[in-house]
Amino acid sequence: MEYKINSNTRIKADSKQYIVQTRQCRENPAEDENTHVWRDRAYFTKLDAAARYLLEQFVRESDIPDLVKLGRDLENFKTEITEAITKKDV
């Protein structure tokens, strides 16, 4: 199963784990016509832990200096994650 959060982030699942993956540019795109590749970022046994990880990383990697804007953007990202997960579970 795959939960697509946005164009650069997804959570893949198998029978034992959830894998948070991000899309990155290939180092040598000339070798392959695919210029992007999915890289594993973290592994979890529970989906809610993977979602929490994504939210924490969003804050850590953010360069938004305004806390109010950061809070707004965080809520929007939280909504993206929730919609992606609940859409698959329906």
pLDDT for residue 65: 85
Does position 29 have pLDDT exceeding 70, yes or no? Answer: no
pTM value surpassing 0.75: yes
Distance CA 23, CA 27 (A): 12
Q: Are 8 and 23 in contact (CB under 8 A)?
A: yes
pLDDT for residue 36: 83
What are residue 33's DSSP bridge partners? none
Mean pLDDT of the chain, nearest integer: 87
